[in-house]
């Protein structure tokens, strides 16, 4: 699978380009998909998709899943409650385990379906 980034807001998987409204700030390439982290600061105020800002894209260029929301809510700039966004995405080089983070919490990410679990507080 060949993955490139034609622009800061797009990813190309085997020539199929997926365009996003927000910049991609990180990505992890797996054998059959690429998982991207979209910049949470670039979502419109009140956009509830900010809590699903990690997306897996398959070799055909189609979205496989959007991440499971972490369950937390915060007050947005416009006063509307919005889901907590993910801020980090990485794969452990020793174990291969995928991880995402929200403020003060690291979660394991299942790359097959976008579910999260095993939250650990960090300070």
Give percent of the chain with pLDDT exceeding 70. 100
The tokens describing 37, both together, are: 């982290």
Tell me the mean pLDDT in the region 24-49. Answer: 92
Give residue 76's pLDDT.
78
Give residue 9's pLDDT.
95
Give residue 90's pLDDT.
97
Give percent of the chain with pLDDT exceeding 90. 61
Contact 53, 67 (CB under 8 A): yes
Tell me the mean pLDDT in the region 10-36. Answer: 93
pLDDT score of 122 more than 80: no
Contact 98, 111 (CB under 8 A): yes
Q: What are the angstrom distances between the C-alpha of 18 and each of 22, 37, 47, 48, 62?
A: 12, 13, 20, 21, 8
pTM score, two decimals? 0.91
Contact 110, 91 (CB under 8 A): no
State pLDDT tens for residues 46-88: 888 899 999 999 988 889 999 999 888 888 777 888 889 999 9
Mean pLDDT of the chain: 91
């Amino acid at each position: 699978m060949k993955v490139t980034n034609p622009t800061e807001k797009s990813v190309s998987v085997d020539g199929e380009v997926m365009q996003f409204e927000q910049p991609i700030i990180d990505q992890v390439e797996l054998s059959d998909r690429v998982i991207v982290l979209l910049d949470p600061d670039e979502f419109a105020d009140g956009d509830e998709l900010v809590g699903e800002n990690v997306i897996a894209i398959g070799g055909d260029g189609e979205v496989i899943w959007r991440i499971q929301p972490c369950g937390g809510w915060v007050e947005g700039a416009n006063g509307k409650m919005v889901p907590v966004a993910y801020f980090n995405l990485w794969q452990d080089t020793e174990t291969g385990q995928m991880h995402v983070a929200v403020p003060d919490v690291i979660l394991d990410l299942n790359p097959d379906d976008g579910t999260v679990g095993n939250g650990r507080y960090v300070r």
